[in-house]
Structure 1
Amino acid sequence: MDWDKLKSFHAAAEAGSLTGAADALRLSQSAVSRQIAALEDDLGVKLFHRHARGLIPTEPGRLLYKAAHDISAKVALAEAMVTDSRDKPSGDLRVTAPLAMGAIWLTPRLAAFNAAYPDIRIHLLLDDRELDIAGLEADCAIRPWPSTQNDLIQRKLMSVRQHMYASRSYLDRKGAPKSAADLSDHAIIHYGPPHLAPIPHLDWAAKAGLKEGEPMRPPAVEANSIMAIMKAAEAGLGIAGLPDYVTRGNDRLMRVLPDLEGPPFEVYFVYPAELRGTSRVTAFREFLLAEARRDEP
């Protein structure tokens, strides 16, 4: 099979649309469509059902996608290894992180990394869901939870502390709680629901100060994104438990009950064993460790 045709098919199956595949491959939509049609002609089978809502793989399409995904991962790994054979760290580095951590903690630091390693091109894939690092959906990840896969290497970056925050407008309107028990008289912004909120222990504000057996405080607003919770707190919708890195330098939020601390959680740098020792990953890991140490109290 022609690799260009297979690559177009794989991108379309990943994106679920010709438009998404064209964007990913930086080709025109018509070029991608022609490649897929040519592949279907070569194989003599239909690979997609075309619907208004996108492309749905047929049974032969699902079988071919699995094989193409494995090939794509191996090609990406080969490209990484060849690129890394150069003396100077260079090439593309796909980094995934949760939205808030990537946008607020990581992105402002990338200028310093770029100054130190101008030949490494960072591609940020910010998503609160867990991308498949072992399958090389990304080269490395910053994750606020430990890896559960044996074929991944992880290095602890930092421990994150949590406190409660609210906007000045909310505190002017409702007053500040004097104790954790007073939180029951306030609007609380929840992190959840649990099955859609992948980062653990971020629903603590809804439970703080309650006696055993008491029901959790009802949410004024619920969101499964730290970024959304921060924005809701900024808008004056209530009090939120937030990681301290989210609020550092944010003059729109005030700390509430400063002696009350939520459960800390650890953040890890994760990458596949195949990329152990590659200069791009090593350079990025050491840079992040230095930045994390700089943030230590």
Structure 2
Amino acid sequence: MDWDKLKSFHAAAEAGSLTAAAETLGLSQSALSRQITALEDQLGIKLFHRHARGLLLTESGNLLYRAAHDISSKVALAEAMVADSRDKPSGDLRVTAPTALGATWLAPRLASFHAAYPDIRIRLLLDDHELDVAGLEAECAIRPWPSTQNDLIQRKIMQVPQHLFSSHSYLQRAGTPRSLEALDDHAIVQYGPPHLAPIPNLDWASRAGRPDGAPPRPAVLEANTVNAVMKAVEAGIGIAGLPDYVARDNDKLVCVLPEIEGPVFDVYFVYPEELRGSSRIIVFRDFLMSEAKRWEA
């Protein structure tokens, strides 16, 4: 089977649409469609049901997808090992992180990493849901929760406190709460709902200071990314509990009740067992540890 055709099929199955898969592979949609049609002709089967909302795998397509996914993971691992066989760290390094942590804390620090290791090209994949690091959708991850997979190595890089934040304009308009109980009279911006907002323990502002068994405060706005919650608070909608890594150095925000600390959580650096000796992973891990230590100080 031609690997280019199989790679095109795998990308389309992963993305669920020709348009998204073509963008991922850097192909035109028509070229990608021709590759998949040629593979179907070669095998004498239909791999996809095509409908208005995208692509749906047939039963045969599902069987081929499982095999292609395994092959894709092995190819990605081989590419990673080849990159690490060079004399100095070089090549692509695919890093996944939650959107706010990646955009607000990590991305501004990558200029220093690039200056130290100019031959490593960071590919930053931001998603609040887990990418499959064991399957090498990314080679390493920064996550505000411990790994759920046994075949991954994880290293705690920092501990993150949370506080309540609002904007200057909101506090001028609504006043500053003097106690947690006073939050009952304020507009709360909430991270959620839980099934769409996977980072744990970020929805504490609606419950802080409430009696045991009391319902949480209703939120005036709920958003399933930390970035959206932060932007809503910057705009003056209300008060939210936010991780310090997105809010502490934001001059558009004011820390409310600074003596109150929300749930503290750990951030981990995660990578596959197979890349334990990777020079790119090692230098990036050490860089993160150094940056986290400076941030916590």
TM range (shorter): over 0.9
Amino acid of the structure 1 residue aligned with 2:148: T
Gaps of 5+ in 2: none
Partner of 1:84: 84
SS of the residue aligned with 1:194?
A: coil
Alignment-mate amino acid for residue 99 of structure 2: L
Aligned residues: 297
Comparing 187-196 and 173-182, the one that deviates more: 187-196
The whole-number CA distance in structure 2 between the counterparts of 1:163 and 1:46 is 54
How far apart, CA to CA, are the structure 2 residues paired with 1:179 and 1:248?
Answer: 20
Give the AA of the match of 1:36.
I
Question: Given residue 140 of structure 2, which amino acid in structure 1 is its aligned partner?
Answer: C
Aligned counterparts of 2:281 and 2:112: Cα–Cα separation in 1: 16
- Which residue of structure 2 lines up, in the alignment, with residue 286 of structure 1? 286
Query: What is the match of residue 59 of structure 2?
Result: 59
CA–CA distance in structure 1, aligned partners of residues 118 and 152 of structure 2:
27
Name the amino acid aligned to 1:253.
Answer: L
Determine helix, strand or coil for the equivalent of 2:217: coil
TM-score normalised by L of structure 1:
0.98
SS of the residue 1:142 aligns to: strand
Matching residue of 2:189: 189
1:74 corresponds to 2:74:
yes
1:114 has 2:114 as partner: yes
Gaps of 5+ in 1: none
Deviates more, 1:147-156 or 1:17-26: 17-26
Q: Deviations over 1:44-81 (max 9, x none)?
A: 00111121221211111111011000000000001100
Cα deviation digits, residues 242-263 of structure 1 (max 9, x gap): 0111013211110100111101
Which residue number corresponds to residue 139 of structure 1?
Answer: 139
List per-residue Cα deviations over 1:130-176 (Å, max 9, x = no partner): 11111111100000000011100000010001110000110000000
Question: What's the secondary structure of 1:88's corresponding residue?
Answer: coil
Partner of residue 244, structure 2 = 244
Give the AA of the match of 1:72.
S
Query: Is structure 2 residue 275 aligned with structure 1 residue 275?
Result: yes
Deviates most, 202-211 or 90-99:
202-211
| Letter aligned with residue 67 of structure 2 | A
**Shift of the alpha carbon at 1:25?**
1.3
Runs of 4+ in 1 over 4 A off after TM superposition: none
Q: Report the secondary structure of 1:11's partner residue.
A: helix
**1:98-113 pair list within 5 angstroms:** 98-113=98-113
Q: Secondary structure in 2 aligned to 1:228?
A: helix
Distance 2:37 2:251 in 1: 55
- TM-score w.r.t. the length of structure 2 is 0.98
- 1:281 maps to a residue whose letter is I
CA distance in 2, matches of 1:21, 1:221: 34
Cα deviation, residue 105, structure 1: 0.2
Distance 1:31 1:196 in 2: 34
Q: Residue 151 of structure 1 corresponds to which residue in structure 2?
A: 151
Q: Which residue is 2:217 aligned to?
A: 217
Letter paired with 1:99: T
Q: 1 CA distance for matches of 2:43 and 2:21? A: 20
Shift of 1:10: 0.6
Q: Does 1:30 align with 2:68?
A: no
